[in-house]
Amino acid sequence: MSSPRRSLRKIRGTDLLVGLGVAILYVAAAKVGLALALQAAQVSAVWPPTGLALAALLRLGPRAAPGVLLGAFVANATAGEPLWVAAGIAVGNTFEAVVGATLLSRIGFDGRLARRRDALALLGAAVVSPAIAATVGVSCLGAGGVQPASSLQGLWRVWWLGDGLGDLVVAPLLLVWTSRQSLPRRSGVVVEAFALLAGLFVASAIAFGQVPPSAALEYVVFPVLIWGALRFGPPATTVVTAGTYAIAVWATHRGLGPFAGAGSEGGLVPLQLFMAVFAMTGLLLAAVAAQHREARESAQLSESRLILALRAARMGVWDWNVASGEVRWSGELEPLHGLIQGGFAGTYEAFRALIHPDDRGRVETEIRKSLESRAPYEAEFRIRGADGVERWTDARGQVVDDDAGKPVRMVGVGIDVSRRKHLEEELRVNAEQLAETDRRKDEFLAMLSHELRNPLAPILHAVELLGHEDPRRAAQAREIIRRQSEHLTRLVDDLLDVSRITRGTVRLERRRVALKDVVDAAVDTWRHLIARRRQELSVEIPEEPVLIEADPTRLAQVIANLLHNAAKFTPEGGRIAITAAREDGRVALAVRDDGPGIAPEHLERVFELFVQGPPPLDRPQGGLGLGLTLARRLAELHGGTLEAASEGAGRGSEFVVRLPVSTSASEPVVVPKERRMKTGRAPLGTVRGRRVLVVEDNADARDAMRFLLEEDGHDVRTAGDGPGAIEEARDFQPEVVLLDIGLPGMDGYEVGRALRGIPGCERASIVAVSGYGQAEDRARSRAAGFDQHLLKPVAPDRLLDLVRRLVPKAS
């Protein structure tokens, strides 16, 4: 990285080079001008350095001023003047350029000369600042005795004209061509530019090359100037002006052209006046043309942006002539109406025909109101395009009156709002669905409360009867509690199954099973209900085995749910039939009943969550309306379908499950029939009692389990939390631990891991007894060292049978 001192030297060196370059160019241009000075060697009617100095200060800034001063001094010192006179003239020339550049900078001058105000500002600078140089210069010439006092007035006029024209001819050329302007972008522009230059030389030769000259022939160059100004703007104008000036000066100096009659130098003075008018005409015309071109390009850009905005907003503009019926559309409207470009006929009737018949009268009413009241026209309506698609448009317009106040036109925009309308419709449907879901949720919660309270009431009453003196009455109470507990368990299981299926966490354990075994297991589940209701059940399964790749437990649940639904809705003494038949690689299993049937509008809704049709307030069938939902979703998980059919009210209903038949050659797995809870228990026999630790935070559940196990002959201790369980285990050294997972503070997983580390408990069988039964819960219990995982509530005979069968692990 360079030091600040080195950077300063670099800047000063650059400034020195800039100043030196300006000085060299100034001297060269001055020598050209002085070569044309005949009346006085120090004063010329042609003085290009003035324009050079002004352009240098405007483009390069104050660092160009030393170069102007040095160049002016050298040019005048070598023109036969005393050094102090040359220095004075140099100061005047420098001050002239500084004043001109300062005035232009103060008013926001743009060197591209693409505005009228910039051309006029340059003219002002060309009038004011040369007066400074002329006044200082002739004063120095007179004071130094270089020129007599009698000639100073004439020299001042020549000096002022020469410097002024230098500002009008040379400065624009340098300023415009250093502003990096490019030629207009159109075809043939390069050929036209060369034609313009050729025209410049031909016109200049005609105007300034005649001897003797013809009257007013010098104006031949003006068409070329106008051509360049209007077609190419300032760049061509400055070239035409400079080229014409150079040719005219050379011809006049050689005694040619219309201005040579006043002599070699005398003709240069009227030439300067002619060229001043010529230059200003070109600069003003070019500025006007540039502004017009910029305005046109800006308008085109604005139009492009407007078209882009209209297309992005899916809108277009229309104009309707009320009297003639002519309608003009912008190009964006036709695609929005399903028409091809140019496909709109351009009449009011053509527009009217596009409006949906149901909306046509309303739209015409709105148009009529707007014409009568002059109020803004606004209407949303449907249209039917030529492509047959129905769209929505939002039309907005305003009436335009003539001088007499009569409506003659209506102008406005058309906006395609189809997307918004579709979204509004989706939102409306979603809102209705949410409202329906919310209503059904409330109904379900009320129904759930009803269904949970129903079994709780007989349980509470039966508990009071357990201590009755009559053993038969106590046995009846126990049977009531057992049945209602089964009912509660099934309600909870259905809720859990729905939750698992909804979240996609159900995993099928597929195997090859015989359909008959699955049907037998399902029938066995509800045989007691069918018998109690004295219903007739017939089962017709094909003689040859029908094999299916299925989860036998879940598939049995599908059929059991359909059978339970039929048993609930079939009156006592009614008939239920289960039939199966092959259908093109599938098996169709139907469960038919002669119950009340299903109304047509409810055939699909019966598979929705919590739907049982419109039940009476007493809900004689009970249940949560989950059975059919579970059945259909489990059937779909097996790659099958479940459909409902009914011939109408009072004519029964039929549910048909269709499943793919297995093509595997492996032997089918026998499906075990469901074991039902029994009121009695098998005797202990030769199995000795176990040391059992029960860990449960619910005191009633803990005591009930302890009483059950103690009655079966086991030595039981209990704990209500993790630390208590660990303390009991150290002293008791249990053989079996029945451990709840959801314990306060220290959960069952932590307790299980801790028990494995207690001496004497390494061989104990640890069984999770929990309400958490998801796959991840079972995986966590295995990882924590549990041997079994039971889901609450556990049937008493299953719990006792498990404790009897558990043996200590081998050490």
pLDDT in tens, 426-466: 999 999 888 877 877 776 666 666 566 667 767 777 777 77
pLDDT of residue 286: 92
Residue, of 31 and 771, whose pLDDT is higher: 31
pLDDT of residue 620: 42
pLDDT of residue 58: 93
Return the number of other C-beta atoms located less than 10 Å from residue 489's C-beta: 17
- Tokens representing residue 502 in the block: 């909804």
Per-residue pLDDT, averaged over 712-720, amounts to 91
Burial per residue of 216-247, b for 16 or more beta-carbon CB atoms within 10 angstroms, e otherwise:
ebbebbbebbbbbbbbbbbbbbbbbbbbbbeb
The pLDDT > 70 percentage for the chain reads 87
Give the residue among 121, 141, 135, 131 at the shortest CA–CA distance from 163. 131
Residue, of 741 and 213, whose pLDDT is higher: 741
pLDDT of residue 234: 92
pLDDT of residue 52: 94
Q: Which residues have a Cβ under 8 Å from the Cβ of 332 and sit 6 or more positions away?
A: 307, 310, 311, 314, 315, 316, 317
Per residue in 562-572, pLDDT (tens digit) is 998 888 888 88
Most confident of 62-76, 464-478, 615-629, 771-785: 62-76
pLDDT of residue 678: 39
pLDDT of residue 175: 93
DSSP annotation string for 217-273: GGGGHHHHHHHHHHHH-HHHHHHHHHHHHHHHHHHHHTT-STTGGG-TTTTHHHHHH
What's phi and psi for 379, nearest 5 deg? -160, 140
Point out the least confidently predicted range of 99-103, 174-178, 294-298: 294-298
Q: Edge-to-edge strand order for the sheet containing 788-791? A: 715-719, 691-695, 736-739, 765-770, 788-791
pLDDT of residue 74: 92
If you compute the radius of gyration of the chain from its CA atoms, what whole number of angstroms results? Answer: 54
DSSP state, residue 11: H
pLDDT of residue 453: 67
- pTM (two decimals): 0.50
Q: How confident is the model at residue 675 (pLDDT cuts 50, 70, 90)?
A: very low
HSE at residue 781, side-chain half, CA atoms within 13 A, is 26
Mean predicted lDDT score pLDDT of the chain: 83
> Does position 306 have pLDDT exceeding 50, yes or no?
yes
Topology classification of domain 511-660: Heat Shock Protein 90 (3.30.565)
> Does position 358 have pLDDT exceeding 60, yes or no?
yes
Decide: residue 739, CB within 10 A, 0-12 exposed, 13-18 middle, 19+ buried: buried
Q: Whole-angstrom distance between the N-terminal and C-terminal Cα of the chain?
A: 79
> Does position 134 have pLDDT exceeding 70, yes or no?
yes
Return the number of other C-beta atoms located less than 10 Å from residue 302's C-beta: 10
pLDDT of residue 6: 39
Query: Token match 């249940």: residue?
Result: 623
Cα 330 from chain centroid (whole Å)? 28
pLDDT of residue 131: 93
Domain 314-416 has CATH 3.30.450.20: yes
* Cis, bond preceding 212 (omega within 30 deg of 0): yes
Helix (H, G, I), strand (E, B) or coil at 794: coil
| Helical axes 152-177 vs 49-60, angle rounded to 10° | 40
Per-residue pLDDT, averaged over 18-33, amounts to 90
pLDDT of residue 619: 39
- Pairing outcome for strands 715-719 and 691-695: parallel
Give the residue among 613, 596, 603 at the shortest CA–CA distance from 651. 596
Give the residue among 802, 674, 672 at the shortest CA–CA distance from 737. 802
Per residue in 584-608, pLDDT (tens digit) is 889 999 999 988 888 887 777 787 7
Residue, of 398 and 332, whose pLDDT is higher: 398
Point out the least confidently predicted range of 121-125, 182-186, 362-366: 182-186
Question: Domain 691-805: which CATH class?
Answer: alpha beta
> Does position 8 have pLDDT exceeding 50, yes or no?
no
> Does position 213 have pLDDT exceeding 70, yes or no?
no
Specify whether the CB–CB gap between 709 and 694 falls below 8 A: yes
Q: Which amino acid type is present at position 743?
A: L
- Tokens representing residue 459 in the block: 């349980």
pLDDT of residue 254: 83
